[in-house]
């Protein structure tokens, strides 16, 4: 049985990805930080449907917790076949209003957390000579978002980082790709009023918000053998908003 770690799988895109991967036969490690109840429920649903899931609490902004999680998975399940570096937080604020703490937090979780997770999983995948990495960027990592400059910097960094490790890991049979979602209907956008949401949707050529499943499907394709000749790429899942 293949094993996948999905960071930030208690809610939103990560949750739907974990459920979808479990349906494809993966044993899934449902990483979470605060939403234990929700992570446990994701695992309960997967396990009662005949799949295999465990919840694992680890803060993606703490390298020692990332090391402990990857070692736990390696020691208990033998291999790590897929990592989906999904955990992320938003920061909607004018740059001039961002505090040092806010800037550091967003970079720690969204960028350094992804780099550290991929480094730790990379050690295991390189020794296995197989593995698959999917990172989560954002359309703002591609074009920059006003009032989301620090978030954009972290997400842009993820794109460059993913392309770099795709080259570095390729000789060891490890692929690395990135998914860049647009406007997806999750709690990350719960700060927007209904009318703000409709204004955004009005700008989207496909005239709807994306669903977590839209993003999960792209992740599943990248993780599958159907994408065996695809590495170092950014797949935009944004309804045509950013082309």
Q: Segment contacting ligand NAP (CB under 6 A): 18-26, 42-50, 96-104, 187-195?
A: 187-195
Report residue 51 CA to chain centroid gap. Answer: 21
Position 14 contacts ligand NAP (CB under 6 A): yes
Near ligand NAP in 16-55, by CB under 6 A: 31-35
Listed in order, strand segments (DSSP E) in the chain are: 3-6, 27-32, 52-57, 82-85, 131-136, 174-181, 234-237
3-state secondary structure of 184: strand
Give catalytic status of residue 72 as yes or no.
no
Q: Segment contacting ligand NAP (CB under 6 A): 43-51, 163-171, 180-188, 223-231?
A: 180-188
Query: Is residue 39 a contact partner of residue 52, using CB atoms and an 8 Å limit?
Result: no
Q: Which of 5, 54, 60, 235 lies at the binding interface for ligand NAP (CB under 6 A)?
A: 60
Position 70 contacts ligand NAP (CB under 6 A): no
Q: Segment contacting ligand NAP (CB under 6 A): 91-99, 170-178, 179-187, 216-224?
A: 179-187
Position 120 contacts ligand NAP (CB under 6 A): no
Q: Which of 174, 166, 170 is nearest to 131 (CA)?
A: 174
Please classify residue 49 by burial: count the beta carbons closer than 10 Å to its beta carbon, then call 0-12 exposed, 13-18 middle and 19+ buried: exposed
Chain positions contacting ligand NAP, by CB under 6 A: 7-14, 31-35, 59-61, 86-89, 109, 136, 138, 181, 183-184, 186-189
């Amino acid at each position: 049985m293949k094993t996948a770690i999905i960071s930030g799988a208690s809610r939103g895109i990560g949750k739907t990805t974990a459920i979808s991967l479990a349906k494809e036969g993966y044993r899934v490690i449902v990483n979470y930080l605060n939403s234990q109840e929700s992570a446990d429920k994701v695992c309960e649903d997967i396990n009662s449907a005949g799949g295999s899931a465990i919840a694992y609490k680890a803060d993606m902004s703490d390298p020692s917790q990332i090391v402990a999680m990857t070692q736990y998975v390696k020691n208990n399940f033998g291999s790590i076949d897929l990592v989906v570096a999904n955990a992320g937080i938003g920061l909607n604020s004018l740059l001039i209003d961002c505090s040092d703490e806010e800037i550091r937090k967003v970079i720690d979780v969204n960028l350094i957390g992804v780099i550290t997770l991929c480094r730790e999983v990379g050690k295991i995948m390189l020794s296995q000579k197989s593995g698959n990495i999917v990172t989560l960027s954002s359309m703002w990592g591609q074009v920059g978002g006003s009032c989301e400059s620090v978030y954009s910097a972290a997400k842009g960094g993820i794109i460059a980082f993913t392309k770099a490790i795709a080259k570095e890991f390729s000789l060891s049979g490890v692929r690395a790709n990135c998914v860049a979602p647009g406007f997806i209907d999750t709690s990350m956008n719960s700060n927007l009023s209904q009318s703000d949401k409709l204004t955004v949707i009005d700008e989207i050529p496909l005239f709807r918000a994306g669903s977590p499943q839209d993003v999960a499907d792209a992740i599943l394709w990248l993780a599958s053998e159907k994408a065996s000749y695809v590495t170092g790429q950014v797949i935009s899942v944004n309804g045509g908003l950013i082309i």
